[in-house]
Copies of this chain bind each other. A is one copy, B any other.
């Protein structure tokens, strides 16, 4: 089973580091991912984290349009300019930078959320609310 699943909340220490859940680290090493590509989600106040293949997927989208177009320029601004490469330290922790804090509202704790081929960083409260809202939306349109 090599997918990012479930969620966990960990504390940020005095230096601004947080441990990536062991389960997620296992998936990373299983997939041979050493360099993490992080990007702000387009919909939720969350930062997506995955391997270079995550970036590749977005770049293929850019490549599909005229490289000098306004649309390509905008996409590159988000994907390249808004993306960040990160590495875990020896203990499997990552730095929670201002880049992450500002966009997610994270301050003292991080909720790691599995998304199959990548995972996300959420402010715990925001995650619970978004999840509750998603559940609402589904149960109202599809009872059962």
| Chain A contacts to B: CB under 8 angstroms | 1, 3-7, 35, 40-44, 52, 55, 57-59, 61, 68, 70, 73-78, 80-85, 99, 113-116, 120, 127, 130-131, 134-135, 137-139, 141-143
Contacts and interface: CB of A to CB of B under 8 A. Distances in A.
A135 B132 CA distance: 24
B42 A80 contact: no
A130 B77 contact: yes
A131 B70 contact: no
Contact of A143 (B3, B43, B61, B70): B61
7 contacts: A3-B80, A5-B85, A43-B142, A74-B137, A78-B138, A81-B113, A81-B127
B135 A42 contact: yes
B6 A116 contact: no
A70 B43 contact: yes
B43 A73 contact: yes
A138 B131 CA distance: 22
Nearest to A122: B81
B143 A57 contact: yes
B3 A58 contact: no
